[in-house]
Amino acid sequence: MKKLLLLVAVAAISSPVMAKSPEAIGTIFAQVDACKIQGYINKPQSKLIKLKVTDKYNVIKKSKSQKNRITKGQFKEFERIKKQGDLGRAIKCKVLENKWLG
């Protein structure tokens, strides 16, 4: 019994990070683009954040349909961002910068 519990604990620790849905990844990409357009982050910072997101969630290995869902998620997020106020955008950009650029 102890061996089984130990095996489950080791498997839980060594398991990869839970992947986000393609739409959620698209949301992150859209927020980064919106922050770059608004001038809250510069171009190298946005590229670095996108690179980190791509690496963390393994976007390169996703199928074509999942990449299409990422793009769909981006479009939905852009529509939502258009309705958001300047203060909300500024806060979201600062959160993204702190989370991904640490």
Burial 5-23 (b: 16+ CB within 10 A, else e): eeeeeeeeeeeeeeeeebb
pLDDT of residue 68: 96
Q: Which residue has the higher pLDDT, 13 or 1?
A: 1
pTM: 0.79
Residue-range domain boundaries for the chain: 20-101
Tens digits of residue pLDDT in 18-28: 568 999 999 99
